[in-house]
């Protein structure tokens, strides 16, 4: 485990990359990459389901890992469409240094930590009545966040809008130079 990497992770993938590193490497190599050709959410879902199976047969493991897979997929969507807006329009490898980037980084860290803490309730409490009661006491905020992200990208076409904004930035930057 990379403790600093885990504690400072700004997205769900980064937090997983720093937790149980050897197991995650094995899962990536022997499950995810073999399913990657299937496309869509299937490789991610089956990799997380394999990890749940590895842990045992308590329902809390499956609730944790399936919810975790949804967090990873939501994080990918946000990173793919929001982060480029914070990059220099001339070179996507250069990150713009701005207050907005600092806010993005902090929000990513905060939401990642909140998400992990939320889904971990099921991992610890194991039985559905117990972990559902735990999630109920916090208003199911983790699943509400997931619904908002997926609905915004699916129904609200946030991805298309953000991509258009980015293309406009690139065109404006090209006129300046």
Number of H-type helices and E-type strands within the chain: 10, 0
Range of the domain at 42: 3-176
Percent helix, strand, coil in the chain, to 5, is 80, 0, 20
Per-residue pLDDT tens over the stretch 64-93 = 999 999 999 999 999 999 988 887 766 655
Q: How many domains does the chain have?
A: 1
Work out the percent of the chain whose per-residue pLDDT is above 70. Answer: 94
Give the per-residue pLDDT at 118. 98
Q: How confident is the model at residue 156 (pLDDT cuts 50, 70, 90)?
A: confident
Predicted confidence at residue 59, as pLDDT, reads: 98
Q: What is the average pLDDT across 51-68?
A: 96
What pLDDT is stored for residue 151 in this prediction? 94
pLDDT mean across residues, the chain? 91
Q: Are 52 and 63 in contact (CB under 8 A)?
A: no
Per-residue pLDDT, averaged over 13-25, amounts to 93
Mean pLDDT is lowest, of 44-48, 98-102, 141-145, for 98-102
Mean pLDDT of the region 20-27: 94
Catalytically active residues are 20, 55
Angstrom CA distances, 32 to 24, 40, 51, 100, stand at: 10, 12, 11, 34
For residue 92, what pLDDT is reported? 55
Task: For 89-114, write each residue's pLDDT tens digit.
Answer: 666 555 666 778 889 999 999 999 99
Q: Per-residue pLDDT for 170 more than 90?
A: no
Q: Is the pLDDT of residue 39 over 90?
A: no
């Amino acid at each position: 485990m990379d403790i600093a990497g885990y504690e400072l992770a700004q997205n769900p993938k980064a937090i997983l990359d720093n937790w149980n590193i050897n197991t995650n490497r094995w899962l990536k190599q022997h499950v995810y990459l073999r399913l990657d050709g299937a496309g869509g959410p299937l490789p991610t879902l089956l990799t997380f389901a394999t990890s749940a199976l590895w842990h045992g047969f308590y329902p809390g493991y499956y609730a944790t890992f399936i919810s975790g897979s949804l967090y990873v997929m939501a994080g990918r969507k946000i990173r793919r469409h929001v982060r480029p807006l914070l990059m220099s329009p001339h070179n996507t490898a250069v990150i713009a240094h701005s207050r907005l980037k600092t806010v993005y980084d902090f929000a990513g860290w905060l939401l990642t930590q909140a998400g992990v803490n939320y889904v971990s309730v099921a991992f610890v409490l194991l039985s559905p009545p117990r972990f559902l009661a735990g999630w109920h006491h916090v208003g199911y905020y983790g699943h509400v966040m997931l619904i908002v992200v997926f609905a915004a990208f699916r129904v609200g076409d946030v991805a298309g809008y953000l991509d258009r904004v980015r293309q406009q930035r690139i065109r404006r930057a090209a006129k300046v130079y």
